[in-house]
């Protein structure tokens, strides 16, 4: 393991930041702009500190001064556009590596940054005495797309009356979006924050509010904050708005802020916070580290909860009134999460990205303890199971999640997660879903550690970490103690071993240093003679996302005489385990059967096997392995387990297992559980759905009324008139949840014709009809929403008459009733909106289902109107979900465009993220994973075309540079649609050779075969025309080093230390010369490069390949669409030499100087053109257009420097001329 | 006086009744007319006795009037004496006392009655005193209960004291009530939404028949979270009602806290209206004066020397 063994923290920077002032003088809501300055106090740690690298994105920087001296600076952000001018390179491998390189190039954890400041020579000459430097930067932000979010409702009135507000947001370290800083979690400093805002507004930020002072004109006021605890820049935040202020009645140092008119909700929602405070402080035996805490509730929040030093920003949609049941636990959970992160994440920060799992793990773990205390052990265990199932499902589907990645030497080759289409080297390249799973796994691993060393030790470790940190936080910078506030994996593990004296090395190795989960298959046989249980546990460790487990595993066997735990050793080759049984199989009927928890119960043992004393068996009942267990036992054993095992996890497992046993006994067991009020309500809810499935499987033999109907009637209907439901009171939340769930499950019942039984539908309609909430002190909006969902579930596909337009007249009578209800509900919602518009949300999905099942005409316009900005976010998401589904089913390119348009331009970041996320989950078409008959048809969807590829490429390449999360979403979508390689819908570039580096084969592009008469496949080594070049160095297929663009080259003259993939400066000349030679030699080879996108591994049949190409050429050219694209790709090689060079010759050419390279390209370029003309005479008619295009390209090239807004700005800025 | 003479009362009565109301003479009126007629005859006879040959009609009328008054007064007085002595039917002595009281020499009366020249008037045909017709005969008239002497006035007609409900008895059957409430609410909702849909923009699920299932068009709002999060007036009302009715059900402390805090929406609203909200609920501030929260401190005036 390459885990850092050294104790202290080594800064990657040649200086240490000690204090930073952020002053924002003006926030203009009308123009959405911000003006301010920052001042960083830094101590150089080297002599001759001549350059300072800081992080800054999208800020316009006016001037930089170092100790009052104007300093020149360069501002270069390679992530703005990941692949420059790269026209035809469309494979995701290539993009991912380029993106990772771009992020690495400015990674603050590696000491890099977008903003490079040259320390005036006057200062560094005398730098050996390690003098303090003060770096002063004036900046502004104009309509920021990331980092700060302005919410300005378009109504009459002043900004305060309109409820306009602004807040900072971001995924991981994103503070650089709104002020220049060292945007690293490991660079701590103290802070002074000043915000001048309109007198009607409040500015909430980190630290203690020292004073608020009016400006001279009394129109504005300045909020002065001081944060004396060393804090990393990513933990700094700001929220400004006309907030209503609520001082917590229990803790006066805690202040809550919400938007106007929501104060009553705020009061109710926050009335509980102090208990969470008390809980954490008690278990951690440590006071809350900051002097104050602020909660701010904002609209259009990026995520529901985000924690910063001494404040948290929440979505305003978490607020609720006392009438709402369902939201209450959710909001409390969010509060608890936020508060847990205050301790671990904000106060204690991570040392590097690889240590992120520790902080996420600890905060998630103590959050879990809170859940256990507040919501009970059942809820906690249920939650653990849920989380475990989630991570297992994800890893088995997508491949492993690695908690502690190590990057030895920073070489791309050592990618620890080759199965992923993104790099996990940086938080900013991670897919959001992966990150969520990462967090989930982190807290589960913490729980595993707890299992190993006991909770007491665990809490002691946390306490130790916190006390170390709080001691350090009160020290001055000079004491070099601040790094104690950074937590690394190593320090954490060391602390564990110190406190507990236990070695958790194997556990860490298994779950933290390795990805993937364990998959067990278990089965057993009972040997009557020996009275032994022969248990067989097999593992699948070959499929993706699985690993081999070796070590102890707990097995619990419930026998007639009691419950017994056995610890087995899973070893390399032993599959079978013999477990001696304690009880004789002969039953003693008088005796009660003792359970695990000491309880003794009577059981009806008639169902069980007379020869065996086994009631049920559980493998790893404590979930102390991250695993999936598929265990085989008889149905009666599952039934006993469901009825008598008291652990909710066991009950839930048995319910899922019983789905496979549709028998009367299963039915009875489930019904009994449903009725049993002591049983955990979530188990009962799950039992509903299982019962529905069983009933459907037993449809021909089912006796009596539809499943659950009589049960529901007994529980919730009036005694005198069983068809009428009682008026709502919802006093018992358990029954409330059950009442909500049962109709939904019942609606899934189907009769022999596979239709929802008539009396079930009528029953649900009656529930809606007789629903009466007048006497209830709780709102019934969630209940009604569930009833609509029940109606939706009852829908079955319409009897389709081919291609008939759906009209009102041929509407099915039942569907008419359903539609009637939905219409009424949806309309009533306009007059009396429900909390979070839950009813509208349900109605929209119901309408989509009606459309999908062919009952009403499929139409997207309704959803579009609900998806527009200005509706409540839940409604928008529901409408968008329907639209995404519509797009897939109807293959509508117009609507796909509409969605992508919104994903690019919508004001709400969350919605944009959601759109891409939903498109990934439900993609309009999927990548052709199985290219069995290759090239017969590229893809069966008309949506998959070149324009879409270009659009998505542009979206992830440059369109989403302001939001890491969104960019990763776009990458995910691209992956879902096209896979890793070049999309098959793109025309093949018709150029000379096709080079397959893996197979060391070169294939002459068969399209030119008719002209040249060359055989299609040449089994020659790759050396044709590329003598002397190592094939790998060609960097084809994105295997090699990512290119470093011209933009990034600009920083190399400043003498930055070489970063991975960069070449030392002194090599530059050699490289240039060398490359020149290579290039001349490689004329043919060059052609091959353009073709690399065709994944040759899929080209098994060369004849088919040729055939396809011929087809491509012979295809009737649809004017304006097909031919230009073909032609464009053919000519792309000569037209875009600049980007193509770095791609091919990456390691060598990455440093070529701008001018030289240019010249050279042109030369080369000309040459090629001649050759090309010669080759493709038949393409002459396209030449004109292409020439124009070329000119454009050339113009672009000449402007390469000024192209990117950021770099252009800095180039033009006066300071550079200094 | 005790022998009221009626000349043609019977006939008149019959006529009046027969005509069915056109002649506005009720039977009682007829009776009075007949009596007056008899009186006129008496007056005329007395005049003849006294030696008049003829008399003007007006004079006869006046005299009749006087006589009637006189007799009435005697009757009234006699009745008063009778009742004074706690009796209900006047006796002879009552009449005598009355006459004396009125200044009439009672002992002269027998002589006067026995005078020679007196005219004999034929007695008017005896007619039954008219029965006051029963205006409304609603139900059986109640008889006196045993403890009330029978001389007390009879019960009035039942219609004067028996209430007859004008609406039907409400059906108390639970099922029907629920059914009714449900369908009523549904009808109201449907009518309302249809109305809203008719008067505003709509969207439709069907292309062929736009009116089939009209959906009120979705209108984006400028601040969508307000309507989505804040409880509607209706819900607030319900909450207040149920809160007051179920206050005693509140046993668990956590809920009680929640309710306490959400209990004064009025006060909160006021705060909510203030554009600048550096206001802490007054109640809280007063209950604990030592809250020192930086956000509640007054904003300082700028120092003059600091900036230009």
Domains along chain B with CATH numbers: 28-114 (1.10.20.10), 175-242 (no CATH)
Chain A: residue whose CA lies nearest to B276: A200
CA distance A817 to A763: 12
Contact B229 A320 (CB under 8 A): yes
CA distance B214 to B198: 8
Q: A-chain residues within 8 Å CB-CB of B179?
A: 724, 770
**Nearest 5 degrees, angle CA A444-CA A186-CA A195?**
110
Judged by DSSP in three states, A766 sits in helix
CA distance A409 to A1058: 12
Contact B175 A320 (CB under 8 A): no
User: For A629, left (φ over 0), alpha (ψ -120 to 50), or beta?
Assistant: beta
Contact B224 A871 (CB under 8 A): yes
Chain B: residue whose CA lies nearest to A159: B275
Tell me the average pLDDT of chain A: 80
Range of A486-490, A599-603, A957-961 with top mean pLDDT = A486-490
User: For A531, left (φ over 0), alpha (ψ -120 to 50), or beta?
Assistant: left
CA distance A322 to A1161: 70
Structure confidence by residue, pLDDT tens digits, A1204-1218: 344 334 333 333 333
By Cβ distance, the residue of A202, A249, A869 closest to B220 is A869
**Residue B103 buriedness (CB in 10 A; 0-12 / 13-18 / 19+):** exposed
CB A4 within 8 A of CB A18: no
Under DSSP, the state recorded for A858 is: -
CA dihedral A470, A476, A479, A480 (to 10 degrees): 70
CA distance A967 to A1031: 31
Average pLDDT over residues A632-640: 93
> How far is the CA of A318 from the CAs of A235, A326, A616, A881, A953, in angstroms?
22, 11, 43, 22, 36
Q: How many CB atoms lie within 10 A of CB B188?
A: 10
Chain B: residue whose CA lies nearest to A249: B284
Judged by DSSP in three states, A613 sits in coil
**Closest of A526, A618, A523 to residue A580, by C-alpha:** A526
- Computed on alpha carbons and rounded to an integer, the radius of gyration of chain B in Å comes to 45
Average pLDDT over residues A308-335: 95
Which residues are within 8 A (CB) of A1079 and not within 5 positions of it... i.e. 6 or more apart? A1086, A1145, A1160, A1164
**Residue A942 buriedness (CB in 10 A; 0-12 / 13-18 / 19+):** exposed
Contact A261 B254 (CB under 8 A): no
Q: B-chain residues within 8 Å CB-CB of A869?
A: 220
Range of A64-68, A932-936, A1120-1124 with top mean pLDDT = A64-68
Judged by DSSP in three states, A558 sits in strand
Contact A832 B232 (CB under 8 A): yes
CB A412 within 8 A of CB A953: no
CA distance A965 to A426: 12
Average pLDDT over residues A987-1013: 46
Strand partners, A241: A202
CB A86 within 8 A of CB A1139: yes
pLDDT at A586: 59
Structure confidence by residue, pLDDT tens digits, A1086-1100: 443 444 444 444 434
CA distance A1034 to A1044: 14
Residue A99 C-alpha from the chain's centroid: 17
Sign of the CA dihedral running A571, A577, A582, A588? positive
Contact B222 A827 (CB under 8 A): no
Q: Decide if the complex's ipTM is over 0.90.
A: no
Q: What is the phi/psi pair of residue A429, to 5°?
A: -105, 0
Contact A209 B207 (CB under 8 A): no
For chain A, give the percent of residues with pLDDT over 70: 76
Render the burial of A874-905: b for 16+ CB within 10 Å, e for the rest: bbbbbbbbbbbbbbbebbbbebbebbbebbbe
pLDDT, averaged per 10 consecutive residues of chain B (308 residues), comes to 39 38 61 84 88 90 92 91 89 89 86 82 68 64 82 80 74 85 91 88 82 86 91 76 50 39 40 40 49 88 62
Structure confidence by residue, pLDDT tens digits, A641-667: 999 999 999 999 999 999 999 999 999
pLDDT at A734: 92
**By the CB < 8 Å criterion, does A828 face chain B?**
yes
Chain B: residue whose CA lies nearest to A208: B294
CB B216 within 8 A of CB B196: yes
CA distance A944 to A931: 16
CA distance A381 to A367: 13
pLDDT at B133: 64
Q: How many CB atoms lie within 10 A of CB A197?
A: 24
Average pLDDT over residues A158-167: 92
A-B contacts (CB, under 8 Å): 242
CA distance A713 to A715: 6
pLDDT band for position A800 (50/70/90)? low
Which residues are within 8 A (CB) of A711 and not within 5 positions of it... i.e. 6 or more apart? A671, A674, A675, A742
CA distance A550 to A573: 10
**Closest of A1025, A1108, A983 to residue A93, by C-alpha:** A983
By Cβ distance, the residue of A163, A213, A868 closest to B223 is A163
Residue A492 C-alpha from the chain's centroid: 26
pLDDT at A798: 84
pLDDT band for position A891 (50/70/90)? confident
pTM of the model: 0.75
Q: A-chain residues within 8 Å CB-CB of B258?
A: 268, 271, 322
Strand partners, A315: A298
Write the DSSP assignment of A415-426 as a string of letters: -S-TTSSS-SSS
By Cβ distance, the residue of A319, A320, A824 closest to B190 is A824
pLDDT at A211: 93
Q: How many CB atoms lie within 10 A of CB A218?
A: 11
Structure confidence by residue, pLDDT tens digits, A412-423: 445 667 788 898
Closest Cα in chain A, distance from residue B248 (Å): 13
Long-range contact pairs involving A378-386 (C-beta distance under 8 Å, separation at least 24)? A378/A648, A378/A680, A378/A682, A379/A680, A379/A682, A381/A647, A381/A648, A381/A649, A382/A648, A382/A649, A382/A652, A382/A680, A382/A682, A382/A683, A384/A444, A384/A447, A384/A623, A384/A649, A385/A623, A385/A648, A385/A649, A385/A652
Judged by DSSP in three states, A520 sits in strand
**Closest of B74, B77, B63 to residue B109, by C-alpha:** B74
CB A76 within 8 A of CB A1047: yes
By Cβ distance, the residue of A208, A265, A775 closest to B294 is A208
CA distance B80 to B148: 23
pLDDT at B236: 76
Look at B286 and A688; give whichever has higher pLDDT: A688
Average pLDDT over residues A85-101: 82
For chain A positions 1169-1208, those within 8 Å of chain B (CB to CB) are none
**Residue A234 buriedness (CB in 10 A; 0-12 / 13-18 / 19+):** buried
Which residues are within 8 A (CB) of A749 and not within 5 positions of it... i.e. 6 or more apart? A692, A695, A696, A706, A707, A756, A757, A760
pLDDT at B244: 56
By Cβ distance, the residue of B197, B243, B299 closest to A777 is B243
> How far is the CA of A807 from the CAs of A778, A882, A974, B212, in angstroms?
40, 21, 38, 10
Which residue intervals of chain B are DSSP H helices?
A: 9-19, 27-50, 57-84, 92-101, 108-113, 158-161, 174-199, 224-229, 233-245, 253-262, 265-273, 282-287
pLDDT at B242: 62
Q: Which run of H or E residues covers position A296? A: strand A293-298
CA distance A135 to B285: 44
Q: Is the pLDDT of residue A1082 over 50?
A: no
Look at A634 and A1174; give whichever has higher pLDDT: A634
Average pLDDT over residues A156-184: 92
Look at A424 and A1204; give whichever has higher pLDDT: A424
Average pLDDT over residues A889-902: 91
**Nearest 5 degrees, angle CA A88-CA A941-CA A879?**
100
């Amino acid at each position: 393991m390459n885990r850092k063994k050294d104790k202290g923290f080594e800064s990657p920077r040649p200086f240490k930041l000690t204090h930073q002032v952020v002053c924002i003088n003006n926030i203009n809501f009308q123009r959405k702009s911000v003006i301010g300055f920052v001042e960083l106090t830094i101590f150089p740690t080297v002599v001759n500190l001549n350059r300072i690298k800081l992080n800054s994105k999208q800020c316009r920087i006016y001037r930089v001064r170092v100790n009052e001296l104007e300093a020149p600076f360069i501002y270069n952000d390679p992530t703005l556009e990941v692949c420059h001018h790269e026209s035809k390179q469309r494979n995701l491998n290539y993009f991912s590596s380029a993106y990772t390189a771009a992020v690495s190039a400015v990674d603050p954890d590696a000491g890099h940054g977008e903003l490079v400041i040259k320390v005036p020579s006057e200062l560094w000459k005398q730098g050996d005495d390690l003098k303090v430097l003060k770096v002063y930067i004036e900046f502004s932000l104009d309509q920021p797309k990331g980092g700060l979010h302005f919410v300005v409702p378009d109504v009459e009135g002043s900004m305060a009356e309109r409820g306009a507000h602004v807040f900072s947001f971001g995924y991981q370290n994103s503070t650089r979006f709104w002020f220049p800083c060292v945007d690293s979690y490991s660079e701590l400093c103290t802070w002074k924050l000043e915000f001048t805002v309109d007198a009607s507004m409040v500015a909430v930020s980190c630290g203690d509010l020292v004073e608020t002072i009016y400006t001279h004109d009394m129109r504005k006021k300045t909020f002065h904050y001081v944060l004396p605890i060393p804090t990393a820049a990513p933990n700094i935040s700001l929220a400004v708005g006309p907030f209503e202020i609520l001082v917590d009645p229990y803790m006066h140092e805690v202040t809550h802020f919400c938007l106007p008119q929501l104060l009553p909700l705020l009061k109710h929602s926050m009335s509980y916070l102090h208990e969470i405070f008390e809980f954490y402080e008690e278990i951690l035996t440590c006071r809350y580290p900051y002097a104050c805490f602020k909660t701010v509730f904002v609209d259009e929040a990026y995520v529901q909860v985000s924690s910063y030093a001494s404040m948290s920003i929440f979505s305003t949609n978490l607020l609720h009134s006392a009438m709402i049941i369902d939201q209450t636990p959710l909001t409390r959970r969010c509060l608890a999460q936020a508060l847990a992160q205050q301790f671990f994440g904000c106060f204690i920060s991570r040392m590097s990205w690889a240590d992120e799992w520790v902080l996420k793990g600890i905060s998630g773990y103590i959050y879990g303890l809170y859940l256990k205390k507040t919501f009970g052990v059942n809820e906690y265990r249920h939650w653990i199971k849920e989380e475990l199932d989630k991570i297992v499902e994800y890893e088995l589907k997508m491949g492993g999640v690695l908690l502690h990645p190590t990057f030895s030497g920073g070489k791309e080759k050592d990618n620890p997660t080759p199965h992923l289409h993104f790099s996990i080297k940086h938080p900013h390249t991670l897919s959001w879903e992966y990150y969520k799973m990462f967090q989930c796994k982190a807290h589960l691993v913490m729980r595993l550690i707890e299992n190993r060393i006991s909770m007491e030790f665990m809490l002691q470790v946390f306490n130790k970490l916190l006390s170390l940190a709080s001691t350090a936080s009160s020290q001055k910078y000079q004491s070099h103690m601040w790094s104690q506030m950074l937590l690394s994996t190593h320090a954490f593990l060391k602390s564990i071993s110190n406190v507990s004296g236990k070695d958790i090395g194997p556990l860490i190795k298994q779950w933290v240093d390795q990805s993937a989960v364990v998959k067990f298959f278990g089965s057993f046989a009972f040997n009557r003679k020996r009275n032994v249980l022969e248990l067989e546990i097999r593992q699948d460790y070959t499929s993706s996302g699985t690993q081999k487990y070796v070590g102890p595993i707990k097995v619990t066997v419930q026998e007639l005489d009691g419950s017994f735990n056995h610890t087995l050793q899973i070893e390399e080759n032993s599959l079978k385990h013999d477990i001696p049984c304690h009880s004789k199989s002969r039953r003693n009927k008088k005796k009660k059967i003792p359970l695990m928890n000491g309880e003794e119960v009577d059981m009806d043992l008639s169902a069980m096997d007379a020869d065996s004393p086994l009631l049920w068996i559980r493998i790893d009942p404590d979930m102390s392995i991250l695993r999936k267990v598929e265990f085989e036992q008889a149905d009666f054993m599952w039934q006993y387990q469901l009825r008598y095992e008291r652990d909710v996890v066991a009950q839930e497992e048995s319910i899922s297992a019983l789905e496979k046993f549709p028998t009367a006994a299963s039915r009875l067991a489930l019904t009994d559980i449903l009725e049993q009020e002591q049983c955990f309500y979530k188990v009962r809810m799950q039992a509903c759905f299982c019962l529905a499935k069983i009933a459907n499987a037993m449809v021909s033999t089912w006796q009596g009324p539809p499943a659950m109907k009589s049960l529901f009637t007994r529980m919730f209907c009036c005694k005198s008139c069983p068809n009428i439901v009682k008026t709502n009171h919802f006093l018992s939340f358990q029954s409330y949840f059950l009442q909500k769930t049962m109709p939904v499950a019942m609606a899934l019942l189907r009769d022999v014709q596979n239709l929802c039984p008539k009396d079930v539908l009528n029953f649900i309609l009656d529930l809606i009809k007789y629903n009466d909430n007048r006497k209830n002190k709780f709102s019934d909006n969630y209940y009604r929403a569930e009833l609509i969902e029940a109606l939706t579930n009852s829908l079955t596909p319409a009897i389709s008459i081919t291609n008939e337009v759906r009209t009102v007249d041929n509407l099915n009578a039942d569907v008419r009733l359903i539609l009637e209800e939905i219409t009424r509900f949806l309309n009533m919602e306009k007059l009396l909106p429900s909390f979070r518009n839950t009813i509208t949300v349900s109605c929209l999905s119901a309408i989509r289902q009606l459309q999908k099942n062919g009952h009403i005409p499929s139409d997207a316009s309704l959803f579009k109107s609900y998806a527009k900005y200005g509706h409540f976010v839940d409604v928008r998401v529901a409408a968008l979900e329907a639209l995404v589904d519509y797009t897939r089913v109807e293959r509508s390119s117009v609507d796909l465009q509409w969605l992508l348009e919104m994903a690019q331009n919508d004001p709400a970041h969350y919605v944009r993220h959601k759109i891409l996320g939903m498109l990934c989950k439900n993609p309009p078409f999927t990548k052709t994973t199985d290219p069995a008959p290759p090239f017969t048809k590229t893809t069966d969807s008309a949506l998959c075309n070149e324009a879409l590829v270009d659009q998505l490429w542009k979206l992830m390449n440059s369109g989403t540079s302001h939001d890491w999360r969104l960019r990763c979403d776009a990458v995910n979508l691209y992956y879902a649609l096209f896979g890793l390689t070049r999309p098959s819908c793109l025309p093949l570039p018709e150029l000379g050779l096709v080079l397959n580096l893996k197979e060391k084969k070169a294939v002459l592009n068969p399209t030119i075969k008719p002209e040249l008469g060359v055989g299609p496949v040449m089994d020659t080594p790759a050396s044709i025309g590329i003598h002397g070049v190592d094939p790998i160095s060609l960097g084809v297929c994105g295997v090699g080093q990512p290119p470093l663009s011209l933009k990034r080259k600009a920083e190399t003259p400043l003498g930055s230390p070489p970063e991975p993939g960069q070449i030392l400066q002194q090599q530059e000349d050699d490289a240039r010369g060398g490359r020149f030679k290579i290039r001349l030699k490689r004329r043919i080879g060059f052609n091959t490069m353009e073709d690399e996108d065709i994944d040759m591994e899929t080209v098994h049949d060369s004849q088919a390949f040729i055939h396809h190409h011929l087809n491509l050429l012979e295809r009737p050219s649809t004017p304006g669409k097909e031919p230009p694209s073909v032609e464009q790709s053919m000519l792309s090689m000569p037209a875009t030499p600049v980007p193509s060079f770095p791609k091919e010759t990456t390691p060598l050419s990455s440093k070529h100087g701008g001018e030289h390279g240019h010249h050279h390209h042109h030369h080369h370029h000309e040459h090629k053109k001649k050759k090309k003309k010669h080759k493709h005479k038949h393409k002459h008619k396209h030449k004109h257009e292409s020439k124009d295009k070329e000119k454009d390209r050339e113009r672009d090239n000449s402007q390469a420097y000024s192209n990117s807004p950021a770099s252009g700005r800095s180039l033009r800025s006066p300071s550079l001329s200094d | 006086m005790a022998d009221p003479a009626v000349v043609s009362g019977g006939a008149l009565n019959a006529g009046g009744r027969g005509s069915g109301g056109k002649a506005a003479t009720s039977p009682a009126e007829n009776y009075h007319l007949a009596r007056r007629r008899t009186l006129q005859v008496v007056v005329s006879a007395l005049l003849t006795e006294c030696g008049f040959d003829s008399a003007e009609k007006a004079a006869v009328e006046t005299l009749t009037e006087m006589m009637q008054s006189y007799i009435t007064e005697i009757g009234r007085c006699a009745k008063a004496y009778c009742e004074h002595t706690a009796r209900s039917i006047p006796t002879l002595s009552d009449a005598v006392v009355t006459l004396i009281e009125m200044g009439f020499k009672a002992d002269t009366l027998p002589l006067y009655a026995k005078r020679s020249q007196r005219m004999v008037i034929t007695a008017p045909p005896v007619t039954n005193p008219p029965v006051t017709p029963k205006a409304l005969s609603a139900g059986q008239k109640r008889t006196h209960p045993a403890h009330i002497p029978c001389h007390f006035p009879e019960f009035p007609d039942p219609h004067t004291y028996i209430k007859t409900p004008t609406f039907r008895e409400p059906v108390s059957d639970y099922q029907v009530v629920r059914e009714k409430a449900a369908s009523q609410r549904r009808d109201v909702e449907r009518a309302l939404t249809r109305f809203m849909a008719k008067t505003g923009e709509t969207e439709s699920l069907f292309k062929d028949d736009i009116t089939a299932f009209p959906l009120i068009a979705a209108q984006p709002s400028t601040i969508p979270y307000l309507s989505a999060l804040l409880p509607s007036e209706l819900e607030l009302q319900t909450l207040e009602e149920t809160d007051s009715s179920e206050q005693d059900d509140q046993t668990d402390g956590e809920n009680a806290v929640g309710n306490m805090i959400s209990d004064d929406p009025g006060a909160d609203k006021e705060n909510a209206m203030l554009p600048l909200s550096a206001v802490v609920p007054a109640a809280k501030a007063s209950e604990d004066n030592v809250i020192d929260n930086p956000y509640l401190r007054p904003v300082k005036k700028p120092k003059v020397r600091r900036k230009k």
